[in-house]
Amino acid sequence: MAMNLPVEPVNGVEPAYEASVADAMNRVLEAERAARSAIADCERELLEALERARQQRRTILQRAHDRIMALHERAARTLDERVADILKQNAQGADLATAPRADDGRLHAALEGLVERLTRRTEGEL
């Protein structure tokens, strides 16, 4: 996009000076074009990097969700198994409604211990 400025004397200014001014203006215009191009390239790279980061975030969130669901499922299965064991033990022994009140404390403590074990974070889990 070079400008072709006249090099004839204008108002007594020498053609060499005019040519150097024209060259300088052409260099400025070329620098501006190069700067616009570099800015556009940076914007494209930024948008690409932003999309990669968004995709990585989506992947991480999906993986975390999958892990959380697996933990919930495992905890629910374990809880169901423990409740079934307790019910089975109670069916073999005295009816819970007729059991002595001292057993209520033991049952409560056992259930609290079970809850603690099921909700405790173990190494390697989220």
Q: Rounded mean pLDDT of the chain? A: 82
DSSP state of 12: T
Distance CA 107, CA 113 (A): 10
Q: What confidence tens digit (pLDDT) does each residue in 49-97 have?
A: 999 999 999 999 999 999 999 999 999 899 889 888 888 887 776 554 5
Q: What is the residue extent of each domain of the chain?
A: 15-119
Angle at alpha carbon of residue 78, lines to 76 and 84, rounded to 5°: 100
The answer to whether the beta carbons of residues 52 and 37 sit under 8 Å apart is no
Q: Helix, strand, or coil here: 8?
A: coil
- Separation between Cα atoms, residue 13 and residue 103, nearest integer Å: 112
pLDDT tens per residue across span 27-50: 999 999 999 999 999 999 999 999
Distance, first Cα to last Cα, the chain: 60
Task: Inform me whether the pLDDT recorded for 4 exceeds 90.
Answer: no
Residues of the chain above pLDDT 90, percent: 43
Residues forming beta bridges with residue 13, ordered by sequence position: 10
Q: Within the chain, what is the greatest distance between any pair of CA atoms? A: 121
- Scan for tokens 């033991």, then name that residue: 106
